[in-house]
Amino acid sequence: MLTGNALAAVAGADLSSPVGVWRIVDETGDPKALITISEQNGEIVGALTRSLGRPDGLERRCTECTDWRKDKKLQGLQIIRGLHKDADSDEYVGGKILDPDSGSEYGCKMRVVAGGKKLEVRGYFGISLLGRTQTWIREP
């Protein structure tokens, strides 16, 4: 079995970066979706790649969205935008994350943990203390 560093060398990936494919799991541990995070024009963005556990997941649309994403298909929909690496920490900050079920957008920050195997994603309202953190798992 490859360690995180060996896996990065084989795949050519930077496991300290959030760039990659991540599995979102709910509070019970059930997989919900795959998110592809990339860097575009110096900012970290993320799009819904695949819905897990819902047969109609990719056909669903963001009916509750109020911006340019209104009624767009969830597959490929950008749900994370505007993050950048904080110069003083290991966090990516200053971004937004969309809840496509409610159409609400929240402040967002994230950091890579567990040797690059997990991503802590915090969505918050106003200040970071008023929110919740999800731990996403890097896909092989």
| Range of lowest pLDDT (24-33, 63-72, 74-83, 115-124) | 24-33
Q: How far apart are CA 43 and CA 82, in angstroms?
A: 6
CA-to-CA separations, 123 to 14, 35, 110, 136, in angstroms, rounded: 24, 15, 9, 13
CATH of domain 4-138: 2.40.128.520
For the full predicted model, state whether its pTM sits above 0.75: yes
Neighbours of 12 (CB within 10 A): 6
Q: How far apart are CA 2 and CA 116, in angstroms?
A: 13
**Residue scoring higher pLDDT (127 or 45):** 45
- At 5, list the tokens: 């560093």
Q: Which is nearest to 123 in space by CA: 138, 104, 109, 140?
A: 109
pLDDT of residue 57: 65
Q: Once rounded to an integer, what is the mean pLDDT over residues 56-72?
A: 87
Taking the alpha carbons at both ends of the chain, their separation in whole angstroms is 12
